Amino acid sequence: MQNAIRYLIANLMLAASAFAGVTISSPAPGSTAASPIHFVASASSSAPITAMRIYVDGTSVFTTFTNNLDTLVPMSVGTHSVVVQAWDSTGAVFKAPETIIVSSTAGQVTVSSPANNATVGSPIPLVASASGPNPITAMQLYLDDQLQFTVNAASINTQVAANVGTHNLVVQAWDTTGAVYKQPVTVNVSASSGVVNVTSPANNVTIASPFQVIASASASNPITAMQIYLDGQLVFANNAASLNTSVSASTGSHSLVVQAWDSSGAFYKQPLTITVSSSVPPNAIVQSQIQSMSGWENCTVCAGAGGNGSPAGFSVQQFQASPSLSGSSAQFNIWGSTPYSDVLWWKQLGGNDGIANFKYDLDFYMTQPQLAQALEFDVNQSNGYTKFIFGTQCNIRDGGVWDIWDTAGGAWRHTNIACPPPAAFTWHHLTWEFTRNDNQTIYVALTFDGVKQYLNQAYWAMPVSASEINVAFQMDGDYAQHPYSVWLDNVTLAYW
């Protein structure tokens, strides 16, 4: 009987010890950190924990009468033996020993803005970073001892609102060992006395894209920088007290903010709402559904290099109900036996010598885009003495980019706008915008499947004694002259 009792007591003691002990969360055993060392630990037992204590090299440095601790302990440089010990209500003792290394390299927090004792406006721009012997894991910003901002990174770039008066800012950082570094800053917040004046555009105006933004700023301290934000995205910046620049935006309503900073770090802003309308003015001449017009002309030899290429087989079928968006597309076809043979189609729309702006808009569809060498979409104008060739091509097999035509140079010029094989069995929307002066063609912008990109590239035109405006479409054959087809729909040219 006595043996059974001893056996039961032994098992109860083992069970109790199975969940009793001290767990040190920070610092890790064998870790290296700068002083002060961040200690985080907890203890558990079958009986209540009544106290915990930290020993460094056999000397008690911290005591708490709870079952957990979270504290900073200053320690000298070198290797140290640390023990975290706990007691429960029965007097049982539990301990966790480990060795750590305290380095001489201390971490630091650097506050770039605002400067200490600076006078700033509200909100206060706060820029800071932290470094140390171990990776920085988090940073926090306190204003007058109240937490304002937390980031799990080694830098902060934010703003904090504050009332007029003197305030205490503290930027604090932690590394992977739990070590804490901080930098206090005193700032004086003054009443805002700066202003941003936007001369153009006016608030709530409807304008075309691109539009001009003209603005200036002034404040009690020198203005050091200005920026423009479109729908929350930075689109322009300078280090001056004024700006005058062009901004592009898609059709629709947009938020526009012009912002300025002064030498104290205070910033001032002027928000606007603008509406960007279609780039086609009311007085434009609009030719629509050109793919269904009669009188399309064509050639194959003239479509080749130098106007003297190999002939290709070709055909066109208008008024196709499927595939179609309008119910009346045109199907263009190419085939043949000679590699790299091409076919060009064009539709004359009549001369108008005073026209200087063009918007070429269409939809196209392919079932085998991988068989095309290139697809060309052109607008041509002659005004009696100068020929303006607005030549563009999706150069699928030679660079996979959009090319534009240099008339005087007699060559295609690559752009940096990608044009891989278009997706098969889907309609693609293409818009080209062009303009000209007396002797140059200017490629303004390309919009493909809703993505608009500005080029604003100009090339010299060539002399000619003719008067015409036409649209053109060309299909180029590949290395094996594989047959393929392209459907065009909603072909429109607006000009003014």
Tell me: the pLDDT tens digits for 327-383?
A: 999 999 999 999 999 999 999 999 999 999 999 999 999 999 999 999 999 999 999
Q: If DSSP codes are grouped into helix, strand and coil, which group holds residue 9?
A: helix
The pairing of strands 462-463 and 78-88 is unpaired
Instruction: Give the residue-averaged pLDDT of 229-247.
Output: 90
Rounded to whole angstroms, the Cα distance separating 393 from 406 reads 12
- Decide if 392 contacts 455 (C-beta within 8 A): no
Structural domain boundaries in the chain:
19-103, 108-189, 195-276, 285-495
Q: In sequence order, what are the residues at sequence separation of 6 or more whose Cβ sits closer than 8 angstroms to the Cβ of residue 33?
A: 27, 100, 101, 102, 103, 133, 134, 175, 177, 178, 179
**Which architecture characterizes domain 285-495 according to CATH?**
Sandwich (2.60)
The pTM (predicted TM-score) of the whole model is 0.50
φ, ψ of residue 393 to 5 degrees: the values are -150, 140
Instruction: Please check the confidence at residue 19 and state whether its pLDDT lies above 70.
Output: no
Predicted local confidence at residue 211, as pLDDT: 79
Rounded to whole angstroms, the Cα distance separating 200 from 270 reads 12
Rounded to whole angstroms, the Cα distance separating 305 from 477 reads 12
Q: What's the gap between Cα 272 and its chain centre? A: 22
Q: Which residues pair with 395 in a beta bridge?
A: 401
The count of other CB atoms within 10 Å of the CB of residue 435 is 17
CA distances, 353 to each of 14, 360, 432, 444, 463 (Å): 102, 18, 20, 20, 14
CATH topology of domain 108-189: Immunoglobulin-like (2.60.40)
CATH number assigned to the domain with residue range 19-103, chosen from the 4 options 3.40.50.1010, 2.60.40.10, 2.60.120.10, 3.30.1490.20: 2.60.40.10
The amino acid at residue 254 is H
Peptide bond into 463 cis (omega under 30): no
Q: Do domains 19-103 and 285-495 have the same CATH topology?
A: no
Rounded to whole angstroms, the Cα distance separating 157 from 150 reads 11
pLDDT for 311-334, tens place per residue?
Answer: 999 999 999 999 999 999 999 999
Rounded to whole angstroms, the Cα distance separating 283 from 431 reads 19
The amino acid at residue 205 is V
Predicted local confidence at residue 122, as pLDDT: 78
Predicted local confidence at residue 221, as pLDDT: 85
Tokens of 50: 């009544």
What angle (nearest 5°) sits at the alpha carbon of residue 78, between those of residues 75 and 83?
60
Instruction: Give the residue-averaged pLDDT of 193-210.
Output: 80
- Helices then strands, counting H and E runs in the chain, come out as 1, 40
- Decide if 171 contacts 182 (C-beta within 8 A): yes
Superfamily of segment(s) 195-276: Immunoglobulins (2.60.40.10)
Percent share of the chain, pLDDT over 90: 65
Kindly indicate the confidence band of residue 12, based on its pLDDT and cuts at 50, 70 and 90.
very low
How many residues in the chain?
496
The count of other CB atoms within 10 Å of the CB of residue 437 is 11
Rounded to whole angstroms, the Cα distance separating 185 from 112 reads 11
The amino acid at residue 139 is M
